[in-house]
Chain A
Amino acid sequence: MSGADRRAALATLLLAVAALAVFAPAAGAQPRLEARDGALWLTALPPILAEESVDRQLTSGLTTGFVFTLEVERETRGAAQVEIRYELWDEVFLTARLEAGRADERRETVGSRPALDRWWRTLDLRLGALPAGGADGEVHLVIVPFSQAEEAETRRWFAESVRRAESTGSGDSASLGGGGGLDRVLTTLIGTSIRRRPLVEYRWAVEIPQATGNPEAPE
């Protein structure tokens, strides 16, 4: 192997390492739990917004939900939810987060996709009260592609579309099998298959930090 070849190989290797560093799968990164103000906070969220399936979903106009739960010994000890919806007219991201121990929903508007990534990286989510004594736990993230309201609205629209198709496009189908009864059953059966199913799920094993000072009283 000549010197030029060695240099080319080294450059290729360096490029590959750099690419791996930049595009490393989010599952490889770990979020972190912090004990602060007597509560448990989830910080340093992995860059999962860059994942192809999530990225595509974020700009769809539908509300993408990120549901975080903390499980310790198979019991849920904390939860938080983030919703991101891309407003197609204004071309901004509308975010909302609902955290344990907070009654109100915190909404923010993010102007661009890079800004959204930055917002995500700096996001601290309050999972709940700090459990007594340190332990190992698991953070479970479920990403759902649309909200409950969008689910309900699509079901309603679906049923309405079927009814409209029966009464206009194919008038004879209404007379088949009585039209109404069978169709209602079928519409219900098919309509209920429109459900919020996880787009993708992540699980991270985390260490729950020790409580320092007086733990925060439950709110």
Chain B
Amino acid sequence: MSRTVAVTLLLLALACTLFYALHRSMADAVLAFGAHPEVVEALEASLDDQKELARLDPSVEAERRERFDEVQELLLRLRVLELNRQDILRRYEALLVALFLASAALAVGFLVWRQRRQEPRLARLQAALTRLAAGEPEVRAPDRGRDAVGRIAAMIERTSRRMAADRRRLAALQGLSAWQSTARQQVHELRTPLTAARLAAERLRAELTTGGNGDGEAAAAAERGEEELARLGEQARRLAEFARLPPPQPARSDLAALAAEFANTYRDAWPGTDLSAGGGGYEGGGEIAVEVDRDLLRQVLVNLCENASQAGAGRIELRAGGNGAAAELVVADDGPGVPPALAGRVFEPYVTSRGDGSGLGLAICRKILLDHGGDLELAETAGGAAFRLTLPRATGDADGAAA
């Protein structure tokens, strides 16, 4: 629209400039003086004067005659102009009209050309919108113009990506909720027999090791059984933790500040692993305001750093950033990375690359982020592993009046 207005203004300016030039050239030079009746009268009077002067003084007749001829020449030219005055004015006006018509034709031509150029773009936009309405994932609107059509195309693509992400989040939430339901049942069924078995194992080990009549090998076997039961108990505890994740209690926080605080607090938690926080900040500057449950976020970060450390990473970096309506925190390490075979299933419960892992840590982490309205994804990296935590950006002012 702004381009159309600019071109129209340009054409009008061109027309005005041409008009001005035309007016100056013509009106100043000819129309203003050529047809003035007083000029003609003065010239006629001058002719009479020359003749009278010559009559009164015949000695200057030649000189007067010469002057007479000059004036007469000018007078005759003006009379010719006067005879053509209406035609000249008509031609002058016709030129003006032609000039403005040409300008108008140019403007109309430009608008028609622009309209014809817009039609296929609008058709592509319409097709993209139709695909978007049909629920097609990752709709592409092939228009990179900087005008309204281009901006709408970009909005369609952004909306499509957002809808696709929402669908992924919803599917993940549904899957994890189903797993949580199953976990609750398993915990319920495991807890009582596991407790009874652990108590029985403790009593057996006590009997085998007390009174001096115990069998050493039997006692050791009982102890191993007790340890296995303890491991099973830990698994059950993790399962219970997954099954009964508390709903988040979000509060407005600066994600970059949270990351920095976490890195500072947990700097020495994983010996041999250098933990640091950085990042470019929020797009456009300022704080990266999010509504987040700080305890749950800390649990997620601990889990991710624990995994990285156990995988042998020597460096973990937290990078806070974001764009548009989303804030993100990337947890990147220089470890061996996630095996490609697991990359697509890494957030599913019981999927782990470690033999002693429960396979519930990343599932819990993602569930926490999903409960915040965000997500946890495995980011593509050249080396190591990188997890991207996304959270909705907090709106409203810093006093807690979030929208």
Tell me the interface secondary structure of chain B in the complex. helix
Given B29, B79, B83, which contacts A161 in the complex, CB threshold below 8 Å? B29
Which residues, 72 to 117 on B, are CB-close (under 8 Å) to A? 72, 75-77, 79-81, 83-84, 87-88, 90-92, 95
Chain B residues whose CB sits within 8 angstroms of the CB of A190 once the complex forms: 26, 30, 88, 91-92, 95
Which residues, 8 to 63 on B, are CB-close (under 8 Å) to A? 17-18, 20-22, 24-26, 28-30, 34, 47, 51
Report B259-294 CB contacts with A as 1/0, cut-off 8 Å. Answer: 000000000000000000000000000000000000
Q: B68 on the interface (CB 8 Å rule)?
A: yes
Task: Give the interface size bracket for B toward A.
Answer: 20 to 34
Q: A61 on the interface (CB 8 Å rule)?
A: yes
Chain B residues whose CB sits within 8 angstroms of the CB of A169 once the complex forms: 28-29
Q: How far is the CB of A91 from chain B (nearest CB, A)?
A: 9
Q: B121 on the interface (CB 8 Å rule)?
A: no
B80 near A193: Cβ-Cβ < 8 Å: no
Closest to B74 in A: A157
Q: How far is the CB of B213 from chain A (nearest CB, A)?
A: 122
Q: In the bound complex, how far is the Cα of B88 from the Cα of A169, in angstroms?
A: 22
Q: B65 on the interface (CB 8 Å rule)?
A: yes
Given A61, A88, A173, A197, which contacts B25 in the complex, CB threshold below 8 Å? A173
Chain B residues whose CB sits within 8 angstroms of the CB of A61 once the complex forms: 72, 75-76, 79
Chain A residues whose CB sits within 8 angstroms of the CB of B91 once the complex forms: 189-190, 193
Chain B residues whose CB sits within 8 angstroms of the CB of A158 once the complex forms: 30, 77, 81
A195 near B95: Cβ-Cβ < 8 Å: no
Chain A residues whose CB sits within 8 angstroms of the CB of B81 once the complex forms: 154, 158, 194
Given A146, A161, A166, A173, which contacts B80 in the complex, CB threshold below 8 Å? A146
B80 near A151: Cβ-Cβ < 8 Å: yes
Chain B residues whose CB sits within 8 angstroms of the CB of A62 once the complex forms: 76, 79-80
B17 near A177: Cβ-Cβ < 8 Å: yes
Q: In the bound complex, how far is the Cα of B150 from the Cα of A42, in angstroms?
A: 82
Report A136-170 CB contacts with B as 1/0, cut-off 8 Å. Answer: 00000000011000110110011001101110011
Which residues, 276 to 318 on B, are CB-close (under 8 Å) to A? none
Q: A60 on the interface (CB 8 Å rule)?
A: yes
Q: In the bound complex, how far is the Cα of B77 from the Cα of A158, in angstroms?
A: 9
Q: A187 on the interface (CB 8 Å rule)?
A: yes
Q: How far is the CB of A167 from chain B (nearest CB, A)?
A: 11
Closest to B81 in A: A154
Given B18, B47, B76, B90, which contacts A182 in the complex, CB threshold below 8 Å? B18
Q: How far is the CB of A148 from chain B (nearest CB, A)?
A: 11
B76 near A186: Cβ-Cβ < 8 Å: no
Q: How far is the CB of A134 from chain B (nearest CB, A)?
A: 40
Given B17, B68, B95, which contacts A186 in the complex, CB threshold below 8 Å? B95
Q: In the bound complex, how far is the Cα of B79 from the Cα of A145, in angstroms?
A: 10
Chain B residues whose CB sits within 8 angstroms of the CB of A170 once the complex forms: 24, 28
Q: How far is the CB of B49 from chain A (nearest CB, A)?
A: 13
Tell me the interface secondary structure of chain A in the complex. helix
Q: How far is the CB of A179 from chain B (nearest CB, A)?
A: 8
A186 near B26: Cβ-Cβ < 8 Å: yes
Given A60, A89, A165, A197, which contacts B68 in the complex, CB threshold below 8 Å? A89
B76 near A150: Cβ-Cβ < 8 Å: yes
Q: In the bound complex, how far is the Cα of B22 from the Cα of A128, in angstroms?
A: 49
Q: A217 on the interface (CB 8 Å rule)?
A: no
A162 near B84: Cβ-Cβ < 8 Å: no
Q: In the bound complex, how far is the Cα of B87 from the Cα of A170, in angstroms?
A: 25
Chain B residues whose CB sits within 8 angstroms of the CB of A176 once the complex forms: 17, 20-21, 24
Chain A residues whose CB sits within 8 angstroms of the CB of B47 once the complex forms: 88
Q: In the bound complex, how far is the Cα of B84 from the Cα of A186, in angstroms?
A: 16
Chain A residues whose CB sits within 8 angstroms of the CB of B20 once the complex forms: 176
Chain A residues whose CB sits within 8 angstroms of the CB of B29 once the complex forms: 161-162, 164-166, 169
Chain A residues whose CB sits within 8 angstroms of the CB of B28 once the complex forms: 165, 169-170, 173
Q: How far is the CB of A44 from chain B (nearest CB, A)?
A: 30
Q: In the bound complex, how far is the Cα of B81 from the Cα of A182, in angstroms?
A: 22
Chain B residues whose CB sits within 8 angstroms of the CB of A161 once the complex forms: 29-30, 34
Chain A residues whose CB sits within 8 angstroms of the CB of B51 once the complex forms: 89
Of B20, B65, B91, most A-chain CB atoms within 10 Å: B91
Chain B residues whose CB sits within 8 angstroms of the CB of A60 once the complex forms: 76, 79
Chain B residues whose CB sits within 8 angstroms of the CB of A88 once the complex forms: 47, 68, 72
Chain A residues whose CB sits within 8 angstroms of the CB of B25 once the complex forms: 162, 165-166, 173, 182-183, 186-187
A-B pairs with the 4 shortest C-beta distances?
A165-B29, A173-B24, A193-B91, A154-B80
Given contact pairs A173-B21, A190-B88, a sample of 5 additional A-B residue pairs in the complex whose CB atoms are under 8 Å apart? A61-B76, A146-B76, A166-B29, A170-B28, A190-B91
| A residues apposed to B, CB below 8 Å | 60-62, 88-89, 145-146, 150-151, 153-154, 157-158, 161-162, 164-166, 169-170, 173, 176-177, 182-183, 186-187, 189-190, 193-195, 197
CB-defined A-B contacts under 8 Å, sample of 5: A145-B80, A157-B77, A176-B20, A182-B22, A197-B83
